[in-house]
Amino acid sequence: MSKPVVAIAYHSGYGHTKVVAEAVLAGIKEVDAVEGVLVPVEEVDAKWDVLDGASAIIFGVPIYMGNVSAAFQTFSEKTAKRWYEKKWQDKLAAGFVNSGAMNGDKHRGMEVLFGLSQQHGMVWVGLGLHPGNNTANASIEDLNRLGSFVGAYAQSNNDQGPDVAPPATDHRTAQHLGKRVAEAAVRWTKGA
């Protein structure tokens, strides 16, 4: 029997969110019983079968002008055929968001990802971590340094390339999300 697939449907205009997607993939790969697949949304027309066959889809975006990037929104609208057929009903879903500012209105992007998942009748998996970096002795090295509950947040300094931004701490948080969703996919598909 083939392994359940956890797909990562993401957009990255300049490479920073791609690095986060790769960290999510590394987390999925920690779970042997699951296969992880990256799906850049620009390539989705050749990869609908991957998303349709996946047990879970993790959506990921950069924030552009306080919202998800236009490329992701285009992808989102293209999923309408799946919506009509309820093709993604009961798949697991999760999300990650990356922006230049510490806050940057990442929450709005995350709400868009959550809303897309709920349009499709998917079952959302949150981050499952307490906030880090929020006590007197805390550090930006803490897991979940940006303190989200709903999904993984990353922040990439505007003057740095994807080789150094977002910082390693955000990679670890993204990796945690990937592993968590992969473990959830194993439980979700048991006996299916």
Q: List contacts with ligand FMN (CB under 6 A).
A: 12-17, 62-66, 98-101, 104-105, 156, 158
CB of 118 to ligand FMN, least distance (A): 23
CB of 29 to ligand FMN, least distance (A): 21
- List for the chain the helix, strand, coil content (%; round to 5): 40, 20, 40
In one letter, which amino acid is 157? Answer: N
Tell me which residue has its CB nearest to ligand FMN.
104
What distance in Å separates the CA atoms of residue 47 and residue 100, rounded to the nearest whole number? 29
Looking at the Cβ atoms of 4 and 178, the one nearer to ligand FMN is 178
Looking at the Cβ atoms of 91 and 106, the one nearer to ligand FMN is 106
Looking at the Cβ atoms of 17 and 144, the one nearer to ligand FMN is 17
Task: Please give the distance of CA 94 from its chain centroid, rounded to a whole number.
Answer: 6
Strand, helix or coil for residue 158: coil
Looking at the Cβ atoms of 31 and 61, the one nearer to ligand FMN is 61
Peptide bond into 166 cis (omega under 30): yes
